[in-house]
Structure 1
C-alpha cells in the first residue's frame, strides 16, 4: 500500500462512517497522510480525527476510535493506533507487498506515475507579466495542474516574447483580463529569454528559473552548465542516464528487472535502498502538492533527493553483477528499483519541461 492508497483508504473510512451515521460531519475532499516523525509510532500518521472533531461535535479521541475500527479492517493495514489528542498512526502490513505495489505502479504508469485526477473539478486561469521567469513558471504550473486533471488557461499582460517558444512556453491569450485572475508572480529573472537561451540553452535556463521558490532570486550563472556533482541539474539527469545504462547493461548480461515470482523470501529493499524506495512512493504526493501550491520548485527538490538516494543505493547495492558473479534475484530486484528511479526522474523533468537524455 502506497501513501496515496492509504490516504484514499482513510477517506473511504470517513465516508463510510458518515454514511452509517457514526459521524455527522462533512466528508473532506482529501485526507493528508504523512510519514511518522522520528520517535513516533507506526509508519504513517494522520490528523483527520482532529479535523473532524468540531463539525462532528465529538471529542477527537472518539472520532479517531470510530475511524480506527474501519481502517484497521482494510487489506494492507497491519495496525492502527490512536496517539496524543487523536492522531491515527498506521503500521502497514506486509511491507514487501507494499514495495512491490510501488514499483508495479511505476512500471505500469511510466512517465505518468504520480499523475491523477485530484483537481479534475477545477477550471483555472493564470495570468502573468511579460517576463521570462513568470512565463516559464506559469507554463510549468500549467503542466503540473493538468497532470492532476485540471483544465487551465494562461494569459499574459502583453504580447509574448518570441523567444519564449524556444523555452517551450505557450500563452493562450494576451492583454489585461476583464476580471482578476490568479497571478504568477515570481521574482523577476533579470534577463530576457534570448539572453538566457544564448548563455544556458533551454534546459538549464528552465531549471535555473524553476528550481528556486518563486520568492527567491534565481541563480542563472554558468554553474548550471557544469557537468559535475555540484550541479543539481546535471546530477538529476546523470542519475536518469545511469539508470537507463543499467537496463542496457543487464540486457547484455541476459537478465531483466523483476521480483521473486513466488513472492517468497526477504524483499531486498533495506539499507541504502529504503530511502530511494520511500522517495519514489512519495512522488505522487509531491506532484500533487506542487500543483496545489503552484510550486514547481517542490518537484525540482524532489528530483534532487531521488538522484541523491539513487547514487547512494547504486554504490551500496550494485544492480549489476561484478566480475564472474552470476545475475541473481537480488540483482533483478535492485534493477527494478533503479529503473523506477529513472522513470520518476524522467517524468518529473518532463513536467518541468526539461529533457532527460539517456546518454550524457
Structure 2
C-alpha cells in the first residue's frame, strides 16, 4: 500500500464516521495525507485528520480520533491504529499491505514517482543564458545541472514546460567580443575592456579560415565579420558543450530578434497603455517604484538607444504572449538586484508578480583541488569552465554535485572527493546501489531464480525490520518528487537517494536475497528479489530526474 492509497483509506474511514454520526460531510477535505513519524516506534504512518476536523464539526479531537481509529482498524491492510497526544493517529500496516509496494513499483517502472500535482501549469523555464562571448563558466554550469533537473521534475509532476536559452547576441558586450577577436587576428593585445584567454585566439583563427580576406577589410567591416562569425562559432561551441553535459533546450531565443521584430516597441506601447511610462530629461522611463522597485527604470535613452531593461521587458512579454502562465528565470548571485525591478516590471504589465514571474538566484561555486580553489581555466584564462569541471570529475559527478545542494547555498566541489570510489562520495554511493541491484538480478537469473508474476508474490513474507525500513523509504519517492518540483529543489531528490541507498545497504546486509550453495529457492527469496528490483527502479528513476546515469556495473 502506498502512502497515497493509505491516505484514501483514511479519508474513506472519515466519510464512514461522518455518516454514522450525522456530521456535515462538507467539512471533509477533498484530499488528505499521511506522514512518516519521526520515531519509527510510533508506527508506519501518522494522520492528523482528526485534529484538522474537530473544530469544524464540534467534536473533541480524541473522540473523533477514536472513532476514526475504530473505522480504520477494519480496513484491509491496516494492522493497528493508536491514538497519541491530542488526537494523532499512528497507523501500522500489516506485512502484506506494506510489501505489495514492491510489486507496485516494479510494475510501474519509469512511471513510479510521476504525478499530476502540477497538471495544467504551463511554465517557461529559462536558465544558463550565458553571453556568447566565452565558454560556459562554472556558475553557468550550476544552472545547467539544476535547471535541467528542475525541468525534468516539473514534467514528472504534470507541468507543461518549455526550456529556454536567451542568446544575448546584441549589445556592447558583443562589440567588445568582436574587437577582441580582431585584435587577436592581428596579433595585437586584447582591448582594455575586451576578452582574453586562448579561446579568443582559437575563434579568431577559425574565422580567418572561413574568411581568409577578413584582415584585408577596413577595421569596421572586419569587426563586423568577426562579430557575426565569431558569435556563431562561440554559440555553437556553447551548445555543443551543454549537449555533452546532457542539456539541450526546447528554444534558443535570440535577443537580436526582439529588436528586428519590433518587440521592444510593442512592449513599450503595452506598458504605456497600462499607464506606467513617462518621459523625463529626453528619455523614456518605466515607473517601477509604483510596485516596490528602489528607483524608476529607463527604457529608452535620450539618444534613442534601447536599454537592456527594455529588452528584458520585451522578452518577458514575448513569453507571456506565447501562453506561459509562469515565467521562471534562473540568475547568478550577482543578479540579486534584478528581482525587485523584474517583479515591478511584471506588475507594470498588469500581471501578478507572485504568480506569473519567479526568479531563482544561484550562489557561487568553487572547484577545489588539494584544499585550494582552482581559480582559472587553461583555456578561458580567468574562469573555470564546464569542460574544466567535466575533465576533473566527469559528467555524472558534476551534475550530481551541482544539483545536490540548494541553489541558494555556495558550494565547493572537491575534486578528490568526487572522483573517489568510496562511500563518502555521494554519487558513487548512490550509483553503487544501482549497480548492486542490477548485479543481484543477473546473479538470480544465473541460478534460475526469478520473481514470478505479481499474482504469486508473497508480500506478507517481507516482515523483517530492514525490509520494512526499505519499503517505507521507497514509498516516500512520489512525494519527494512532487515536493522537489513545487519548491524548485532538485537537491531534495539527491538527498533522498542517499537515504534510500543507506536503507538498501542495511537491507542487503541483513536479509539474504539469493540462496546459498545448494539451498532451495523459496518464496522469501522471490519476495526479496521483488524488493531488490523495486529499489533498482526507484534509484534509476531518481537519478534520471537529476540527469545522472544508473549504471548496471561499476
Deviations 1:171-223 (A, max 9, x none): 34546323452223232335432332232222111001001122223332322
1:60 to 1:265, Cα distance in 2 relative to 1, 3 A:
closer
Q: Which runs of 5+ in 2 are unaligned?
A: 130-139, 169-234, 256-311, 318-345, 347-352, 367-383
**SS of corresponding position for 1:114:** coil
Residue 385 (structure 2) pairs with residue 192 (structure 1): yes
**SS of corresponding position for 1:226:** coil
* Bigger-Rg structure (1/2): 2
Shift of residue 115, structure 1, vs aligned partner:
1.3
Range moving further from structure 2, 167-176 or 209-218: 167-176
**Distance across 2 between alignment mates of 1:126 and 1:62:** 49
Report the RMSD for the aligned CA atoms in angstroms.
3.1
Shift of residue 345, structure 1, vs aligned partner:
0.9
User: What is the aligned partner in structure 2 of residue 208 from structure 1?
Assistant: 401
**Distance across 2 between alignment mates of 1:39 and 1:200:** 38
User: What is the aligned partner in structure 2 of residue 27 from structure 1?
Assistant: 29
User: What is the aligned partner in structure 2 of residue 6 from structure 1?
Assistant: 6
Contact 1:49–1:61 under 8 Å retained in 2 = yes
After TM superposition, the score normalised by the length of structure 1 is 0.85
Matching residue within 274, 286, 298 for 2:480: 286
Contact 1:272–1:309 under 8 Å retained in 2 = yes
**SS of corresponding position for 1:115:** coil
Contact 2:435–2:552 under 8 Å retained in 1 = yes
Shift of residue 255, structure 1, vs aligned partner:
1.3
Matching residue within 492, 495, 499 for 1:301: 495
After TM superposition, the score normalised by the length of structure 2 is 0.58
Shift of residue 359, structure 1, vs aligned partner:
1.4
Matching residue within 228, 237, 247 for 1:169: 247
**SS of corresponding position for 2:536:** helix
Shift of residue 269, structure 1, vs aligned partner:
3.7
Range moving further from structure 2, 133-142 or 11-20: 11-20
User: What is the aligned partner in structure 2 of residue 139 from structure 1?
Assistant: 148
Correspondence list, 1:1-360, <5 A:
1-12=1-12, 22-25=24-27, 27=29, 30-38=31-39, 41-53=42-54, 60-61=61-62, 64=65, 71-92=72-93, 94-99=94-99, 101-128=100-127, 130=129, 131-156=140-165, 158-159=167-168, 161-162=238-239, 163-173=241-251, 174=253, 176=312, 177-178=316-317, 179=346, 181-190=357-366, 191-222=384-415, 223-258=417-452, 267-360=461-554
Contact 1:240–1:356 under 8 Å retained in 2 = yes
Contact 2:153–2:545 under 8 Å retained in 1 = yes
Contact 2:422–2:428 under 8 Å retained in 1 = yes
Deviations 1:233-264 (A, max 9, x none): 11211211111111111111111125997677
Deviations 1:19-42 (A, max 9, x none): 9862433735x4231123328644
**Distance across 2 between alignment mates of 1:265 and 1:203:** 35
**Distance across 1 between alignment mates of 2:149 and 2:393:** 18
Deviations 1:297-321 (A, max 9, x none): 1111111122222222222223222
Deviations 1:58-100 (A, max 9, x none): 65456646755665554323444443233233233x322331x
Aligned residues: 357
Q: Which runs of 5+ in 1 are unaligned?
A: none
Contact 1:17–1:23 under 8 Å retained in 2 = no
Contact 1:250–1:256 under 8 Å retained in 2 = yes
User: What is the aligned partner in structure 1 of residue 176 from structure 2?
Assistant: none
Deviations 1:93-142 (A, max 9, x none): x322331x201111111122121222223333334454221232121111
